[in-house]
Amino acid sequence: MSIAVNPPPSLRSFPISRSPITRSPRVTMVLRSSPPAALPILTKLQNDCATPLPLLRNIADAMAVEMRAGLAVDGGSDLKMILSYVDFLPTGNERGLFYALDLGGTNFRVLRTQLGGRDERVIATEFEQVSIPQDLMCGTSEELFDFIASALAKFVKKEGGKFILPNGRSRETGFTFSFPVKQTSIDSGILIKWTKGFSVSGTPGKDIVVCLNEAMGRQGLDMRVSALVNDTVATLAGARYWDNDVMVAVILGTGTNACYVESVEAIPKLQGHKSSSGKTIINTEWGAFSNGLPLTEYDREMDAESINPGEQLFEKTISGMYLGEIVRRVLVRMAETGSLFGKHIPEKLQTPFALGTPNISSMQQDTSEDLEAVGSILYEVTGVDSNLDVRKMVVEVCDTIAKRGGRLAGAGIVGILQKMEQDSKGVVFGKRMVVAMDGGLYEHYPQYKRYLKEAVAEILGPELSSHVVIEHSKDGSGIGAALLAATNSIFEH
């Protein structure tokens, strides 16, 4: 980030225009009459952002090395490699009524689902989204959790129809909590600190599951938290319910993260925790990865001005929060030293984060002859008047940054798969391996998605990559949290 901006509400968020755009294969544009001084800037940018195969392989290898170091000892790597305590994943046999609460920003979502076991699977699902009043984001712990519990209680009162609580059971919920937590069991975790604009007093250092359970008690709501997870882990669980070959989950939205299924024998730092399945999910927190990344002067400037300099460098090069801002900084440099937009540089263009990643995605999907949509976005968002050649150059900048981001993300995925392959003694790449993807960046930016998949295929080669399936798991984290509540239910299914 640059200057003070509120962090994103969720890793998965990525709003984008829904207007239909005709898509066709992208053709590299020849720039003939753009301001000559701007061309060297573009050329240098493309060279600095280049991700040739040797670099991608180095990134993948480094990711695997950092994963091992993070599993060996806490603090041994930039990657935290957090133990999720999710030792059992959904099998499809789960039955009953289960809830999910997803708190990750200024809104939270409540969901219920009726599970019918192997034959009926998900019988019905309902959800509601609730906005958190601004004053509660800076209030007390009791005020915030009472508000959440009250909304959950109101949602429960609407239960009916296909939603039936079996006799002798109390309601159970999965709790997706996307803030820094030191997890201590499947249903407990200590809040380290609030982020994303929250500064609630009385919660840091406390078990947030206890906070929620106590609030539900004050509301007279007979419900308990059976599973505390982050949204990446919930995405893996949601996808695994439908496909037993899912072993990795990645979120690429406003922010990014990845998790995967690990053997407990491969976790040296694991002490005191026993897993009867022999497996557990590891939350990598891969946004902190930094080894060997092809950074530009624009990345370094943006990082230096952010609220966390020197941290989350992988996230700052591949996630939706930052791609548009990098493009904006390049365009400002082209305007200042290359006269790209004439003598006048609009104030809007000089405003940090004025240009969002949804904007650059929309511009890159404009296939009209005169790039009319590109011109409209530039004018409306940045105040820039442009001719066709300027628009072509802007699209080239967008493509350069998206290509680097997508290919680096692909290399990160291969790094996780390589680590799993090495520890499994060669059985991972010999069978079908599914990577579940969620997040608006992956869903709504086709060029980025294509670059990611191409990088995976390029690094692994045609034979190995044919076994790797990258599937979109839209909103899988909501149902995933409910499924984990079912998997970890105190009642027999």
Q: In this predicted structure, what is the pLDDT of residue 361?
A: 97
Q: Is 154 a catalytic residue?
A: no
Is 53 in contact with 474 (CB distance < 8 Å)? no
Question: What's the confidence (pLDDT) of residue 25?
Answer: 38
pLDDT in tens, 252-271: 998 999 999 999 999 999 87
Answer yes or no: are the C-beta atoms of 433 and 245 closer than 8 Å: yes
Buried residues in 55-68 as b, exposed as e (16+ CB within 10 A): bbbebbbbbbbbbb
Domain range 1-84+238-476, CATH architecture: 3-Layer(aba) Sandwich (3.40)
**Is residue 315 a contact partner of residue 322, using CB atoms and an 8 Å limit?**
yes
Catalytic residue (one of 207, 231, 366, 399): 231
| Span 153-181, pLDDT tens digits | 999 999 998 999 988 889 999 999 988 88
Residue 21 confidence (pLDDT): 36
Is residue 196 part of the annotated active site? The answer reads yes
Instruction: Give the pLDDT score at 30.
Output: 38
Q: How buried is 347 (Cβ within 10 angstroms: 0-12 exposed, 13-18 middle, 19+ buried)?
A: exposed
Strand partners, 83: 282
| List of the chain residues with pLDDT < 50 | 1-10, 16-33, 493
Q: Which pLDDT does position 106 carry in this prediction?
A: 84
Q: Which CATH architecture has domain 91-229?
A: 2-Layer Sandwich (3.30)
Q: Is 416 helix (H, G, I), strand (E, B) or coil?
A: helix
Give the start-to-end residue ranges of the domains of the chain.
Answer: 1-84+238-476, 91-229
Q: Please report the pLDDT score of residue 351 as a whole number.
A: 95
What's the full length of the chain, in residues?
493
pLDDT of residue 168: 85
Domains 1-84+238-476 and 91-229 agree in fold: no
Catalytic residue, candidates 61, 154, 182, 196 = 196
Q: How many CB atoms lie within 10 A of CB 119?
A: 7
Q: What is the pLDDT of residue 284?
A: 95
Q: Is 188 exposed, middle or buried (0-12, 13-18, 19+ CB in 10 A)?
A: middle
* The pLDDT value given to residue 492: 62
